[in-house]
Every structure is written in C-alpha cells, then in structure tokens.
C-alpha cells in the first residue's frame, strides 16, 4: 500500500505549478563536464524500513566492516561514510554511540557525514525549540572533529507515511527541517567549524501536489535565511524499488536522471540556486532471489553510478553514496533487509567488486600539494642539518586547504587553520644524529583529506 501511494496522482495535479516531471529519457539530456564525484557508502547495518514493524538487523562485526571499507576506498582519494539513524529520541545514549563511531572511522582516515534524525519521542514531538537546542548540541559535540564534514538535518521530510525510515510522519517535521538547518549553520559558523557543511535530503518521490506543498512550505517557513544556510541538497532515489517500483530493462539509469532533474526543478520553488551542489545521499537496489538476483543488483548498480557520473555537471552533483554496505539480515523475507553489497555474514555479492572498481575509476583524486621543509641553520657534513626545520604546505591547491595538523613521527605538534599552513617541526638538540619524518594531514575546503610527508636528517649540537 505504501508503494502504491507513491503512484497516486490527484486529478487536479495538472493545475499545480510547477509540476516537476523532470527529464525522463537520459539519452536526450546533455552530459556536461564537472568535477569528479566524491564517493562513499552507508556502513551501518540497520536500515530504515517502510512498514509497521521494522525488523532488527544482525549485529555488526566491526573488524569485518573495517576490512570491507578498506577494500572499497579509493587508493588516492577521499571516501565518505554516511552514518544514519542518529535519533533525537535516543538522547545521550545516541551521542555516546555515534561519537564512538565517528572517532573509530575518522581515525582510519575516512570522512564522516552524520544524519541527524528528527524522530522525536511522543513528549518531544512538535517541540521545535528543544529540537533546535539539540541540533546546536550536535554541532558542538561533533563539529570539532575535522573528519566530520557534513550534517544532514532530518531525513526525507517529504515522506509522510513511514516513521521508521523518514521524519515526515512526525508533527512539526517541516518546521524542524527549516529551523534545524538554520541553527546548524549558525552554530557551525560561531564555532568556526569551516569543514562542516549543512544540508538536507529529499526522497524521490510522492505525487506532484504533495511535493509542491512540501517545497512551498520550505519557501514560506525558511525564506532567504534557509537558502543561505544550505551548503548542499541531497537526493534519496531507489529506481526499480520505491519509485518507480519497477523499471524496464536498463531503466534505472533513466530513473536516477529523473530523480536528479526533478530535485533541481523542485528546489527552484524555495529559491535554492543550482550553484548549491547536489549529493546523491542514498541510492540502492536490494536483492531477494530469485526475483531480485545478485547479478541484477550488480548491473543496476553500474547503471546508476555511471548515470550520476555522466550527468554530474548537468545537475551539479558533487557526491554519491551507495546504500548499503551489508544486508541487515540475508535470511529475512523482508526486502528492505537486503540492500547490501555484502550478505549479513560479510560474504560479498557481485556488486561489491563492481562498486569497488567504479570508485577507483571515477572518484576524486588527491590534490597537487607538497610539504616543503625550510631549514634555518647550516648544513653539516653528511647532509644533515643543524638548526630549526619548518614545514609548510605548498602547491597549486594550497589555497583550497582549510587547515592542517603537523606531526614529527607520531608526535602531534600543532594545527593551523590560517594560510600559509606551517609549523616548526624540529629544534636543535643535543645527542646523536636523527632521521625524522615530518607529516601534515591537510583538510581541503571541499572535505577531502590529504596526507603529506617528508623525511629529513637532523644533526646533534656540538
């Protein structure tokens, strides 16, 4: 019934202005060039489900998760992990759990995006003041980690019938979205968390009248203040699963193009300009053999990933996330437990290798930066140096660097957020000659992280 409701179009919808049909045939759409995509995935095992009684996932095995993520990440580019289901109603317990997850993943060099769900308890529902205070607390407690690059405020507020997967089923959800985005951006600016970008997502899609009502409410509630607070807008699209519930052979490519184009069209209602980038936040295709085979998932994945890549310049798409890394429970008869690239025991499906190959082929590359060592002192015989050694981030992309943390060996020295990014990495010392390694972990303005390293020999004082 939930799927069928997506297809109901009121008779009066022809009079709705605008009716964002979008581009329905990808072969007629111009493929404009654009920067390469930043790829990622949802690593957590529990997925939002449509239905009255969502099933629980089998527990995660962190070591196997980490090994799978390591295999997927590109060798010379960023990889973003989207952490979902951070519920307001879960209180401090949710903070403890997700802070630990963020620490675990960012220590491994991943970038993290946090989905901040409205999902209130009955006592919280509709209390927008308390929700805004919660959003500000999220920014304060997560934004100081430079690896946390984005907050998605609320989830699929346009979807009104599925409280487990989407926030639109709760009272006050539209106001929570608008006020939450504005508050998150304000708090991030106050605390100078320059890497932290704020956005929201849209589920593709309901009937035109419902969608127009949703987007007009963002315009009327938020106005220019809401638009100014946005760093990105997100698309959740499941062609061949949710909308439309079935596709012709190969039609999933057209389906994703239609989702991207429809989002751009609807975003004009509240005045969100095309220069605000789009992120494909959720895109997936679940398996359930024999009707939905593993081989079909791999083929559909490639169609949709290449569609996002081919039309990234057309619709200003910056990011792509596959949903999800692992099945919730491969033995379950419920379709929404089967979105993974792997079974719930971590055996990879064919789509795993397909996605790994596409990420390696199509993702962003690291920037043209280098670590320059400035030596203040004199060079001794044997090539070592007496005096101070200063490390600085240099190169054509240095202006796009938002900050850097400097190390000598494993010892953290200092962080710098003001150009030129530099730090003193060695002082003259008594003792023997030493070989040192200076390292800078650089955070780019677009969220990428780059590691720079140089070795140098320092003489002892005499």
Rounded CA separation 234/251 (Å): 22
User: In which region does residue 271 sit, left (phi positive, over 0), alpha (psi from -120 to 50) or beta (all else)?
Assistant: left
176: how many CB neighbours lie within 10 A of its CB?
A: 27
Domain spans of the chain, in order of start: 2-362, 369-458
370 vs 433, which has greater pLDDT?
370
Rounded CA separation 346/331 (Å): 13
55: how many CB neighbours lie within 10 A of its CB?
A: 15
pLDDT for the residue numbered 14 = 34
pLDDT for the residue numbered 409 = 86
Spell out where 352-427 has E strands.
Answer: 369-379, 385-395, 401-408, 411-416, 422-426
3-state DSSP assignment of residue 411: strand
What CATH architecture applies to the domain 369-458?
Sandwich (2.60)
Contacts of 261 (CB under 8 A, 6+ apart): 22, 23, 29, 315
Nearest to 88 by CA among 128, 42, 56, 49: 128
425 vs 432, which has greater pLDDT?
425
Rounded CA separation 197/447 (Å): 9
Looking at residues 408-431, what average pLDDT do you find?
86
pLDDT for the residue numbered 52 = 63
Nearest to 64 by CA among 52, 56, 72: 72
Max Cα separation, the chain? 90
Query: What percent of the chain is predicted at pLDDT more than 70?
Result: 90
State pLDDT tens for residues 227-267. 999 999 999 999 999 999 999 999 999 999 999 999 999 99
CB contact at 8 A, 157 and 174? yes
Q: Kindly state the tokens that stand for 172.
A: 């006050």
Looking at residues 33-49, what average pLDDT do you find?
93
Which CATH fold would you assign to the domain 2-362? Answer: TIM Barrel (3.20.20)
Residue that is written with structure tokens 């790829």 in the block: 39
User: In which region does residue 13 sit, left (phi positive, over 0), alpha (psi from -120 to 50) or beta (all else)?
Assistant: alpha
State pLDDT tens for residues 314-343. 999 999 999 999 999 999 999 999 999 999
Q: Kindly state the tokens that stand for 288.
A: 């359930």
121: how many CB neighbours lie within 10 A of its CB?
A: 12
In the structure, what pLDDT confidence band is assigned to residue 401 with cuts at 50, 70 and 90? confident
Looking at residues 348-377, what average pLDDT do you find?
88
Question: How does DSSP classify residue 380?
Answer: P
> What is this structure's pTM?
0.79
383 vs 332, which has greater pLDDT?
332
CB contact at 8 A, 206 and 218? no
Nearest to 278 by CA among 331, 319, 334: 319
List C-alpha distances in Å: 162 to 53, 157, 456.
11, 10, 59
pLDDT for the residue numbered 362 = 96
Spell out where 137-179 has E strands.
Answer: 148-153
Looking at residues 267-273, what average pLDDT do you find?
97
CB contact at 8 A, 304 and 320? no
Question: Does an H or E element contain 288, and which?
Answer: none
Q: Kindly state the tokens that stand for 429.
A: 């010392």
What phi and psi values does residue 249 have, to the nearest 5 degrees?
Answer: -55, 120
Enumerate the β-bridge partners of residue 64. Answer: none
Looking at residues 412-430, what average pLDDT do you find?
87
In the structure, what pLDDT confidence band is assigned to residue 3 with cuts at 50, 70 and 90? very low
In the structure, what pLDDT confidence band is assigned to residue 431 with cuts at 50, 70 and 90? low
State pLDDT tens for residues 173-229. 999 999 999 999 999 999 999 899 999 999 999 999 999 999 999 999 999 999 999
369-458 and 2-362 share a CATH fold: no
CB contact at 8 A, 65 and 96? no
Quote the mean pLDDT of the chain: 90
Angle between helices 294-310 and 350-362 (to 10 degrees): 20
Rounded CA separation 64/60 (Å): 8
CB contact at 8 A, 291 and 241? no
């Amino acid at each position: 019934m939930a799927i069928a409701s997506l297809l109901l179009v009121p008779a009066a919808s022809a009079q709705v202005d605008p009716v964002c049909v979008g581009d329905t045939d990808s072969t007629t759409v111009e493929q404009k060039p654009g920067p390469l995509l930043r790829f990622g995935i949802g690593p957590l095992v529990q997925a939002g489900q449509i239905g009255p009684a969502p099933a629980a996932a089998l527990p995660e095995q962190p070591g196997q998760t980490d090994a799978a993520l390591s295999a997927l990440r590109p060798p010379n580019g960023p990889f973003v992990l989207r952490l979902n289901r951070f519920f307001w109603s879960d209180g401090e317990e949710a903070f403890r759990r997700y802070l630990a997850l963020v620490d675990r993943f960012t220590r491994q060099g991943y970038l993290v995006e946090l989905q901040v769900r409205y999902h209130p308890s009955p006592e919280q529902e509709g209390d927008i003041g308390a929700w805004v205070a919660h959003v500000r607390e999220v920014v304060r407690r997560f934004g100081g980690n430079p690896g946390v690059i984005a907050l998605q405020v609320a989830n699929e507020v346009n979807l009104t019938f599925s409280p487990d997967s989407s926030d639109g089923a709760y009272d006050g959800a539209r106001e929570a979205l608008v006020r939450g985005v504005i508050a998150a951006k304000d708090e991030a600016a106050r605390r100078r968390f320059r890497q932290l970008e704020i956005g929201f997502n849209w589920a593709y899609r309901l009937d035109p009248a419902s969608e127009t009502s949703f987007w007009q409410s963002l315009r009327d509630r938020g106005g220019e203040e809401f638009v100014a607070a946005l760093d990105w807008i997100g698309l959740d699209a499941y062609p061949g699963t949710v909308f439309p519930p079935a596709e012709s052979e190969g039609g999933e490519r057209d389906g994703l193009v239609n989702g991207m184009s429809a989002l751009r069209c609807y975003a004009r209602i509240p005045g969100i300009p095309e220069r605000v980038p789009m992120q494909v936040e959720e895109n997936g295709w679940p398996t359930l053999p024999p009707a939905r085979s593993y081989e079909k998932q791999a083929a559909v994945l490639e169609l949709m990933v290449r569609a996002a890549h081919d039309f990234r310049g057309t619709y200003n798409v910056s990011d792509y996330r596959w949903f999800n890394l692992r099945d919730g429970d491969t033995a379950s008869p419920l379709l929404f437990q089967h979105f993974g690239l792997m079974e719930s025991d971590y055996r990879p499906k064919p789509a795993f290798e397909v996605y790994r190959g596409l990420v390696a082929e199509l993702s962003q590359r690291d920037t043209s930066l280098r670590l320059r060592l400035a030596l203040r002192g004199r060079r001794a015989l044997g090539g070592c140096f007496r005096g101070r050694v200063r490390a600085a981030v240099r190169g054509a992309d240095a202006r796009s660097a938002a900050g850097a943390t400097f190390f000598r060996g494993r010892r953290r020295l200092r962080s710098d957020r003001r150009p030129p990014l530099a730090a003193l990495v060695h002082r003259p010392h008594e003792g023997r000659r030493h070989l040192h390694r200076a390292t800078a972990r650089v955070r780019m303005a677009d969220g990428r992280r780059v590691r720079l390293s140089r070795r140098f020999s320092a003489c002892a004082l005499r």
